Amino acid sequence: MSDRERDDTEQIAEETERVEETASRAGAEEAASQAEEPPSAGGDQQDEVEPSEAAEEVQTPQAVEEAEEAATEGEAPPEESPEECIATLEAELAEAKAQADHYLDQWRRTAAEFANYRKRREREQAEFVQQANAALISKLLPVLDDFDLAFEHLPEDVASSTWVEGFALIRRKLQAILEQEGVSVIEAVGKPFDPELHEAVTHEESDEVESGHVIAEVRKGYRLGDKVLRPAMVRVAR
């Protein structure tokens, strides 16, 4: 073999290796691109079925019945008719009215009890004040008795003196104060004897006074309103 033939043979071998290398690279790229693409829907392979889907497709009669019951329970209640709505509203109105009447009755009872309590307290307070006044006035009555006795036995030679007139003024002021507090004198002379108003000291024969009537008064009696502070001491005819 000549040198020229040897050079041609080596050149052909190099071109053959280059073509094979190019073909090998192209085949590798095509295989990689096919691996990345998703499988075609129209392929020859049959789609796989998941186990859960298969279980859903096959249902027993009991499962169907349970599913229907669950659907029935989830449904909304049927709407009421107008007549039923009116009856329900009337029942609720009657119940509210009964409750309002109950509350009104309780309020009236409470108001009446409070009014009675307030009246009772006012009456008790008035009685307490009256009793306190009665106790004080009862202590002043002997002073008024002393004034009465003094003026009944007043000597004639001093009856017109200025100091006697001053004592008479003091006596009238005391009587006016007692009258302002509701004190009044119990009438006795000539009146029928009343054991609630009079206290008999003696029983005497009398031609001028009817039997059972008061002849004379020994000591005056007084009342505070309707209450007797002190009965009148009297002499009674038989």
Q: What is the CATH number of the domain that holds 228?
A: 2.30.22.10
Q: Residue 219: is its pLDDT beyond 70?
A: yes
Q: How many domains does the chain have?
A: 2
Q: Report the predicted TM-score, pTM, of the whole model to 2 decimal places.
A: 0.50
Identify which has the larger pLDDT, 11 or 210.
Answer: 210
Q: Does residue 229 fall inside a structural domain?
A: yes
User: For residues 112 and 118, what is the distance between their CA atoms, to the nearest angstrom?
Assistant: 10
Q: Does residue 141 fall inside a structural domain?
A: yes
Identify which has the larger pLDDT, 199 or 54.
Answer: 199
Select from 162, 181, 200 the last residue of a domain: 181
Q: Report, as an integer, the average pLDDT of 12-25.
A: 70
pLDDT of residue 133: 86
Mean model confidence pLDDT for the chain? 80
Query: Which residues constitute the domain of residue 167?
Result: 108-181
Q: Report, as an integer, the average pLDDT of 46-75.
A: 55
